[in-house]
Amino acid sequence: MSDQDGTPENRLRKELPEETPATAPEAVPSAETNDKDEPDATPGVTGRQRLVQGLWPPRVTRAQLIVAVLLFGLGFGLAVQVASNSDGDSALRGARQEDLVRILDELDDRTQRLEDEKAGLEKQRDELENSSDQAEEARKQTLEKERQLGILAGTVAAQGPGITMTIDDTKGTVEADMLLDAIQELRAAGAEAIQVNGVRVVAGTYLTDSGNSVSVDGNKINAPYRFKVIGKPQDLEPALNIPGGVVQTLEKEQATVTVERSTKIVVDALRAAKQPDYARSSSR
C-alpha cells in the first residue's frame, strides 16, 4: 500500500479537491404564486375572482352618493328640456310658410298692442301732471277707467268690431276644455269682450261638462255654440286658424267651425257686480 500511495498518480489525486455534486438552481418565484408579495391572497383563487371581489359589492361613500344623485337629476332635467324644445321645433318645422308668416304677424300685433297700451298709460300720466285742474282731469280719467273695467267685468254692455264663431257639434264630441281653449286663444289675440250663447265671459269664468252639453259659470248651454267676440278681426281670426289651433282641434272632433268678421258686434249679456267678501281697497 505504501508503494501505491507513493506513486505520482496518487499524489496528484490527493492534491486536487474532491468533486462536489451539482446542485439544482434555485426556483424563481413566479408572479402568479408569489405569496410573499400578496399576503392577503386566498389560496386557490384566481386573479379574475380577486378582481370581481374587489369591485363588488361597491364601496360608495356618502359624498359620492350625493354627487351621483345630483348629476342624475341634472341630466334628467336637461333631457326633458331638450325633448320639449325638440317638440316645439318639430311643430314649427312642419308648418307651411304662410302659416309661419301668420304666426309672426300675430306676435307682432301682440307686441304693438302692448306698446299702444303703454303709450296710453304714459299719456294719462302726463295729462294728470300737466293739467291746470288736476281734480277735474282725475275725475274724467276715473270715469273712463270705470267704463273700461265695467266692460272687462261684464257689468256694462259693449259694441265694436270683432268676429262671430259658431261651433256646430252634431256628434256631441265637443267638451268644455275645448271651448276653454278657444276663449284663452281669443283673449291672447286681444279679445276685449266675449259672450257665449248669452253668457258673458269674464276673468273668473269656468266651464264644465254637463252630460252632452257644457256649463258656463253654472249656466247650461247647448250646441251650436256661438261666440260673439269684440276685438280686432285681423288678429282674432288668424289666432283661431293657426296650425294645431282651435279650429283644427275642433274639426278633428268632427265639429264644424264657422268664423265671420264684422264691423259691429254687440255683447249685451251682463253680469251682476259682485261685492268681495274679504278684499278691501288698500288706498287711503
Instruction: For 127-183, write each residue's pLDDT tens digit.
Output: 767 766 667 767 777 777 778 788 888 889 999 999 999 999 988 899 999 999 999
Distance CA 225, CA 168 (A): 7
Residue 193's Cβ-count burial label (10 Å; 0-12, 13-18, 19+) is buried
pLDDT in tens, the chain (284 residues): 444 555 555 555 555 555 555 555 555 444 444 444 444 555 566 777 777 776 666 666 777 778 788 888 888 887 877 766 655 555 566 667 777 777 787 788 878 888 888 888 888 777 767 766 667 767 777 777 778 788 888 889 999 999 999 999 988 899 999 999 999 999 999 999 999 999 999 988 999 998 888 999 999 999 999 999 999 999 999 999 988 889 999 999 999 999 999 999 999 999 887 777 787 766 55
Q: Are 161 and 227 in contact (CB under 8 A)?
A: no
Mean pLDDT, the chain, whole residue set: 78
* pLDDT at residue 20, rounded to an integer: 53
Residue 98 phi/psi, 5-degree rounding, is: -65, -30
If you write DSSP's letter for every residue of the chain in order, what string do you get?
-HHHHTSHHHHHHHHSPPP-PPPPPPPPPPSSS-TTT-TTPPTT--HHHHHHHHHSS----HHHHHHHHHHHHHHHHHHHHHHHHHHHHHHHHTS-HHHHHHHHHHHHHHHHHHHHHHHHHHHHHHHHHH-SSHHHHHHHHHHHHHHHHHHHHTSS-EEEEEEEEEEE-SSS---HHHHHHHHHHHHHTT--EEEETTEEE-TT--EEEETTEEEETTEEE-SSEEEEEES-HHHHHHHHSSTTSHHHHHHHTT-EEEEEEEEEEEE---------SS------
With CA atoms as reference, report the closest residue to 230 among 205, 267, 182.
Answer: 267
Query: What's the full length of the chain, in residues?
Result: 284
Please report where in the chains the cell 333631457 appears, as a residue: 79
With CA atoms as reference, report the closest residue to 259 among 272, 269, 271, 246.
Answer: 246
CA distances, 179 to each of 146, 196, 213, 245, 261 (Å): 29, 10, 11, 12, 19
With CA atoms as reference, report the closest residue to 266 among 207, 167, 200, 216.
Answer: 200
